[in-house]
Amino acid sequence: MPKHILIQVAIIICSTLLLGAGIYLLSIYRRLFKGIKSLWLRMNLTVLSIALLMLAALLGIQSPAIFAALQGKSLAVTLLTELGGGALIVFFVFNLAWFVSERRIVKKLSFVKKHGVIVFTIVVTAIIAYAVVNYAGNGWKVIPEKMHLALVYAYMNSILTGFIYTAISYVELERKRKLNEKELEVTRLMALKTKAELETLHSKVNPHFLYNALNSIADLSITDGKKARRMTIALADLFRYSINYSNSNYSTVKDEIEMAEVYLQIEKIRFEDQLSYAVTVEEGLDHYLVPRFILQPIVENAVKHGLKATGKMTEIGLNVKKQEDGLLIAIADNGPAFPEELHPGYGLKSIFDKLDLLFPDSYELHFSNQPHKQVIVHLKKLVKNEPPV
């Protein structure tokens, strides 16, 4: 095989490798020059690195024409001049295109229209830049053959620069799209997780309460049928509420108060004169939303640790009022004081979990013994007529 053919084959292979290297750098452009804080400098170095590799590949492909035009000039000087001039023009054209792309009117365009404007800007500015450089390099004279060749190079380099810019923009757009998809998926999974956690919290009713209530109904069915009937209806209402047909994580203050009263009615039937309760709700608060089943566990604790633990008359007060910084729910009782180190059971833990999920960073839960024993739920975010979540 003739030597010049081998040289041409070697040049084509080298040009292909350079082009491949340029495309590879294009694919990882966000990782290039990461140590440089200036976005402008980092982007320019990235574009110049990619452009120089691709320009070198194009020069390799055009080597026969370059060799023919040497006319005694040094090959190295010619190549460096071509690369240097190309890099300078790419720098100028890229920054002008970047300036155009940052204009508000251009940002509002679709991806295709926006990059059509940018590529047009690149082609026009590259042709002008090459024409000026060629004109100055020829002693401020217009030599038609050289000017034609310069304009061809300008067009090729501008298309190359436009390709790099559009490719980088597309890669960035695709990266953002995938990132948004991941964020949406994470949000969806978090929502499903939250929904599952809340459904679990809503669905569990203290089995000891159910066991005791059913035993009481069984006893009353023999001694007092009317009380047994009232207790059965109240228990049915409580469990109907717990089923949550509306699939909502919120409940109105009115409904929550009614369910707390239903629970207290059941306990009142069981313990008769050993239990009394009073409910006070400030006018106009019925339609504010609170987490479902937030009151019943607190009221149940008051009965459990008051009446059941001591056997004495237990008085429970439930008060709901509005303050400037939110909604205040207070459940007071005359039972034994809270211990210094409170270890909440399942009921109280469920309240904390619901508040964390539905009112994150917007609530306070206080257990106090002075001036009297009470649990205070302070919701700092007022939610009214909010659709189910």
pTM: predicted TM-score of the whole model, two decimal places: 0.48
Work out the angle at residue 23's Cα, subtended by the Cα atoms of residues 21 and 29, and round it to the nearest 5 degrees: 100
- Mean pLDDT, consecutive 10-residue segments, the chain of 389 residues? 69 81 78 83 83 76 58 60 71 79 84 81 78 73 74 73 71 73 64 54 57 76 83 80 68 89 86 86 90 84 74 86 89 85 74 82 88 89 63
Task: Tell me which DSSP letter residue 337 carries.
Answer: P
Please spell the DSSP secondary structure of 359-379, one letter per residue.
STTSEEEEEE-SSS-EEEEEE
Q: How high is the pLDDT of residue 106?
A: 84
Cα-flanking dihedrals φ and ψ of residue 199, to 5°?
-60, -40
**Measured between alpha carbons, how far is 162 from 121 in angstroms, rounded to an integer?**
9
Would you tell me how many other CB atoms lie within 10 Å of the CB of residue 52? 17
Helix (H, G, I), strand (E, B) or coil at 332: strand
Q: How high is the pLDDT of residue 389?
A: 42
Q: How high is the pLDDT of residue 387?
A: 46
Contact 227, 269 (CB under 8 A): yes
**Measured between alpha carbons, how far is 389 from 247 in angstroms, rounded to an integer?**
8
Q: How high is the pLDDT of residue 193?
A: 55
Task: Give the CA dihedral 155, 161, 164, 166, nearest 10 degrees.
Answer: -80
CA distances to 23, 126, 245, 250, 362 from 196, rounded to whole Å, are 46, 60, 15, 15, 22
Residue 311: both structure tokens together: 């056997």
Closest CA to 358 of 197, 236, 211, 187: 197
Contact 87, 52 (CB under 8 A): yes
Q: How high is the pLDDT of residue 388?
A: 44
Domain 204-379 architecture: 2-Layer Sandwich (3.30)
Question: Any residues with CB less than 8 A from the CB of 91 and at least 6 apart, and which?
Answer: 44, 47, 48
| Average confidence score pLDDT of the chain | 77
Domain limits, CATH 3.30.565.10, in the chain: 204-379
